[in-house]
Amino acid sequence: MSDVQKFSSIVPAKKSTAELVSELEAIAAQTGMQLSDVSMQEQSATADKGGGYRVLALNIGLTGNYASLISFLNAVEQNIRLMDVASIDAAMGGAGSLMRFTIRATVYFLP
């Protein structure tokens, strides 16, 4: 894989929201988490960064246990597409040791 191809995978040339959701579903399934919802909001690139990229804010809803959450985060970290996790909220999910998690993250794409 050339450097240009690798960079295009890390910071794609378009939002690719369907691909992003598909990646999150696959990671959730691999790590024992249940993806309950994904919401996205496009934000403008900041002026001090030169406007060379666009930002997509994500809210990811998951259900699972703590160990599965750690596995999910490790898999996101190893994923080729750059994703910055800003915060994680957790609440008891009711049944057994299941918890509900909301992850706020940011992904990037070229304009």
Stretches where the chain sits below pLDDT 70 are 1-15, 44-51, 94-95, 111
pLDDT value at residue 46: 56
Q: What contacts 100, CB < 8 A, 6 or more positions away? A: 36, 61, 62, 63, 90, 91, 92, 93
Whole-model pTM? Answer: 0.80
**For 59-74, b where at least 16 C-beta lie within 10 A, e where not — what string?**
ebebbbeeebbebbbe
pLDDT for position 7: 45
The proportion of the chain whose per-residue pLDDT surpasses 90, expressed as a percent, equals 53
What per-residue confidence (pLDDT) applies to 4?
43
Position 6 scores a pLDDT of 46
In the DSSP assignment, the letter for residue 111 is -
Q: Helices 66-78 & 17-31, crossing angle to 10 degrees?
A: 140
Q: Which two tokens stand for residue 109?
A: 């794409």
